[in-house]
Amino acid sequence: MKKLLSLGLTCLLFACALLGGLPAPAAHAAGDVQNVRIQLRRLALTDRADLTLDGAYLCTADHVTAHYPRGTVLTVQVSGDRLVLTADDITLRVEGALRLIRTDDGRDSGGIRFRRDGNLYPGDLTLSVENGQLQPVLTIPVEDYLLGVVPYEMNDSFPMEALKAQAICARTYALSHIDPSKPWDMTDTTNDQVFHGVNPRDRRAAQAVKETRGVVGMYKGKLATCYYSASNGGQTELVENVWSGRGAPTYYQMVDDPYDLENPESIVRRATLRKNASGLPEAFTAILCDYMAQEMLRQGFEPQADCFRVDAIDSVSVGHTVHPAPSRFVNQLTLTFRWSGRGYREQIASVRVDEEDLNLFETPEPTATVSPEPEATPAPQLSGFLPADDPATLTLPLFPEVVKALNLSIAGSANEMITVVEEGDAFRLESRRFGHGVGMSQRGAQWMAARYGMRCEEILAFYYPGMDLMVGGTEDAPLPTPDPVMFYTPGPAATATPRPTLMPVTAAQLPEGAWLASVEGIDDDSSLNLRAEPTQAAQILMRLYKHQRLIVLETCEDPVWVHVKTDVIEGYVMVGFLEQVTAE
- Which pLDDT belongs to residue 33? 58
- 35 and 171 inside one domain: yes
Are residues 229 and 436 in contact, defined by beta-carbon separation less than 8 angstroms?
yes
User: Would you say residue 253 lies in a domain?
Assistant: yes
Phi-psi region of 334 (alpha: psi -120 to 50; beta: other; left: phi over 0): beta
User: Would you say residue 484 lies in a domain?
Assistant: no
Contacts of 264 (CB under 8 A, 6+ apart): none
- 558 and 422 inside one domain: no
- 38 and 183 inside one domain: yes
Are residues 108 and 55 in contact, defined by beta-carbon separation less than 8 angstroms?
yes
Distance between CA atoms of residues 566 and 553, nearest Å: 10
Other Cβ atoms less than 10 A from the Cβ of 513: the count is 9
- 175 and 251 inside one domain: yes
Q: Is 570 exposed, middle or buried (0-12, 13-18, 19+ CB in 10 A)?
A: middle
Q: Is 338 exposed, middle or buried (0-12, 13-18, 19+ CB in 10 A)?
A: middle
- 149 and 9 inside one domain: yes
User: Would you say residue 489 lies in a domain?
Assistant: no
- 41 and 89 inside one domain: yes
- Report the CATH number that the domain containing residue 551 is assigned in CATH: 2.30.30.40
Distance between CA atoms of residues 193 and 149, nearest Å: 7
Check pLDDT > 50 for residue 3. no
User: Would you say residue 114 lies in a domain?
Assistant: yes
- 30 and 129 inside one domain: yes
Give the pLDDT confidence of 297-356 residue by residue, as tens digits: 999 999 999 999 999 999 999 999 999 999 999 999 999 999 999 998 554 344 333 434
- 58 and 135 inside one domain: yes
- 124 and 41 inside one domain: yes
Give the pLDDT confidence of 420-436 residue by residue, as tens digits: 999 999 999 999 999 99
N-terminal to C-terminal alpha carbon distance within the chain: 61
Could you tell me the residue range of the domain that residue 338 belongs to?
268-346+383-432
Distance between CA atoms of residues 309 and 386, nearest Å: 10
- Which pLDDT belongs to residue 525? 64
- 410 and 456 inside one domain: no
* % of the chain residues with pLDDT over 70: 81
Are residues 436 and 283 in contact, defined by beta-carbon separation less than 8 angstroms?
no
- 204 and 249 inside one domain: yes
What's the distance, CA 408 to chain centroid?
15
Contacts of 80 (CB under 8 A, 6+ apart): none
Check pLDDT > 80 for residue 237. yes
Distance between CA atoms of residues 188 and 153, nearest Å: 11
Contacts of 379 (CB under 8 A, 6+ apart): none
**pLDDT, mean over the chain:** 84
Give the pLDDT confidence of 524-549 residue by residue, as tens digits: 667 788 888 988 777 878 888 888 99
Question: In this structure, what are the phi and psi dihedrals at residue 313, rounded to the nearest 5 degrees?
Answer: -115, 120
Distance between CA atoms of residues 72 and 57, nearest Å: 9
User: Would you say residue 364 lies in a domain?
Assistant: no
Give the pLDDT confidence of 467-510 residue by residue, as tens digits: 999 997 555 555 655 544 433 333 333 333 344 567 888 877 78
- Which pLDDT belongs to residue 89? 78
- Which pLDDT belongs to residue 582? 80
User: Would you say residue 416 lies in a domain?
Assistant: yes
- Which pLDDT belongs to residue 521? 81
pTM over 0.75: no
- 241 and 149 inside one domain: yes
pLDDT band at residue 247 under the 50/70/90 scheme: low
What single string gives the DSSP state of each residue in 221-239? TEE----EESB-TTB-B-H
Task: Select from 304, 314, 313, 299 the least CA-distant residue to 386.
Answer: 299
Task: Select from 536, 551, 562 the least CA-distant residue to 503.
Answer: 551
Helical H segments across 221-365, by residue range: 239-242, 258-262, 282-291, 293-298, 345-350
**Cis peptide leading into 400, omega within 30 of 0?**
yes
Using alpha carbons, list the distances in angstroms from residue 441 to 3, 247, 255, 427, 433: 19, 20, 12, 28, 9
Structural domains of the chain, count: 3
User: Would you say residue 165 lies in a domain?
Assistant: yes
User: Would you say residue 378 lies in a domain?
Assistant: no
